[in-house]
Amino acid sequence: MKKWLLLPAFCLAVSGVTRQEIVYRETPEGKLAMTVFYPHGWTAADRRPGIVFFFGGGFINGDRKQFYSKAGYLASRGMVAASAEYRVKNKHQTSREDALLDCQAAYGWLKSHASEHGIDPLKLSAGGGSAGAACALSIHQNGDRPASFVLFNPAYLETLTPNESLPPSIQFFGTADPFYPAAKAYWRAAPKGRVELFVAKGQPHGFFNDQGDGVWHATTSYLMDSFLTARGFLTGKPTISLPESSKAVMYSEAGLGVSPAGKPAQVPAGVSAHLNLEYKPGLLLDVFVPGGTPKPLIVWIHGGGWEQGNKENPPSMKMLEQGFAAASIRYRLSQEAPMPAQIEDCLAAIRYLRANAAKLGYDGTKIGVWGASAGGHLAALTGTRGKGDASVQAVVDWFGPTDFRRMSNWPTRIDHNSPASPESRLIGGPVQQNGLLSGLANPAAYVHAGTPPFLIEHGDADPLVPMEQSELLHAALLKAGASSEFVGLHGAGHGGPEFMSPANLERVLAFFRRTLR
């Protein structure tokens, strides 16, 4: 390896971080390099999440030092982070197309050399600012698939159409940025939950560039950290503070205010919150326990196509004032590990929750699971596969997939048979060409007479998961002699107000009261 260099002083909170410069491509206009930042304690034998950034400048000028501070910060938090140069017009007399090819080559080089740099190639993300963010997006457009995107005022969004194969991304814009209207349209067109768009009121293009103790550098770094932590690429809390002054003028396009990462929803009086308990190395869960006699526990398993989502603010908390304790878990996402890692994590979480019930104060003999979409699928698998100390006593499955090989039998917005579908990425190959793996992911394959009671709910207008998927599971449960109640919600889509209505939540509450008391 080349000589180690100390990190520049302008990078924040980067004690122990080192870097090296590497030539990744030779072009007719000269060699191209990237600067790679390594965490304290890094070794080549590591398999850490990684990210590569690309600078902005309209494909005319720019310098990879623009992202040294962001890369250095992420290295201080445990990732291997790089900032790459590419050809630009003023220096190399080249075109935008040349720049895009360079950025694609930089990502491909780092991915193919991941083992030399202690990177897990399945956890390699891409990011950048303005033209550099467009470069990052071109990697996906070219057929590769970064684990996630971290994008600062990306340009040329109006030329792109997001689809179901889009990796999860976070984007930052100022409302005074001329590219902001295109960003808002892109966010609206993206699959639900796939793009997190954060907006700074009155800020221009490139507002995130302020360095040192700059408010926007700190704010965007904090939110970048929270986004990557929610996807399992970082652990713990950000080591950079969220400036108070940004909270009033920074908000998500979904209408959510900016708040510290991991902050739970309002906890009712008399409820003890046990946050970020490590139930398995690197995997965390939250538990909320009302006072008084030990209550049954309802565990929420989040959705997100098995590749995004987090444990924060679970619907199970709505049951705290109804005589239940609540929990929410994080599991490995599909870009971290293929199936069966996700169900193994869910079962490990149940074992942990059962073993620690007396210490935390709930009734460990009465545990129900509840999930939506991918979380519904995992809740169903937990119910049908859980045995002994990993068993549960009740399952609520909201619109979860069942038989991956039948999902494209009905019209949906996703080609479920595509290698890029969430189901294919979960099992590690196209569902139709991997019948055994698809079958092993089917909760109906494990039902038996002793399977706990199920409440299955599905919208008849679901554009992503056909309602037949829930009907198949319901029929399998009844055939095996298990208890199952199926509710089709007329006009409901893939989630939405019909599921969270008072009447439907009362139905869920009544089910848990019957089965856990």
**HSE-up (13 A, CA, CB side) for residue 443:** 30
Tokens 């309602």 -> residue: 467
Report the C-alpha gap between 247 and 251 in whole angstroms.
8
Burial, 64: exposed, middle or buried (Cβ in 10 Å; 0-12, 13-18, 19+)? buried
Q: What local confidence, expressed as pLDDT, does residue 187 receive?
A: 85
The one-letter amino acid code at 170 reads: I
Burial, 459: exposed, middle or buried (Cβ in 10 Å; 0-12, 13-18, 19+)? buried
* 164 phi-psi bin (left φ>0, alpha ψ -120 to 50, beta other): alpha
383 Cα distance to chain centroid: 24
Report the C-alpha gap between 121 and 49 in whole angstroms.
8
Q: Block means of pLDDT (10 residues each) for the chain, length 517 residues?
A: 35 69 96 96 94 97 95 96 97 96 97 96 95 95 91 92 85 92 87 82 87 76 89 86 69 47 62 90 90 96 88 90 95 89 97 97 97 97 97 98 95 89 94 95 97 97 95 98 97 92 96 95
Report the C-alpha gap between 503 and 99 in whole angstroms.
55
pTM for this structure? 0.61
Report the C-alpha gap between 350 and 452 in whole angstroms.
14
Phi, psi of 404 (to 5 degrees): -60, -30
Q: Assess whether the previous peptide bond of 340 is cis (omega < 30° from 0).
A: yes
Tokens 């034998």 -> residue: 45
Q: Are 418 and 430 in contact (CB under 8 A)?
A: yes
Helix 68-76 to helix 215-230 angle (10° resolution) is 50
Report the C-alpha gap between 428 and 417 in whole angstroms.
12
Q: What local confidence, expressed as pLDDT, does residue 349 receive?
A: 98
> Which DSSP letter does residue 490 get?
T
Phi, psi of 329 (to 5 degrees): -120, 155
Radius of gyration of the chain (CA): 24
Would you say how long the chain is, in residues? Answer: 517
The Cα angle at residue 172 between residues 105 and 14, in degrees rounded to 5? 70
Q: What local confidence, expressed as pLDDT, does residue 256 receive?
A: 39
Report the C-alpha gap between 308 and 313 in whole angstroms.
15
Of 225, 224, 259, give the one whose Cα is nearest residue 243.
Answer: 259
Q: Are 461 and 493 in contact (CB under 8 A)?
A: yes
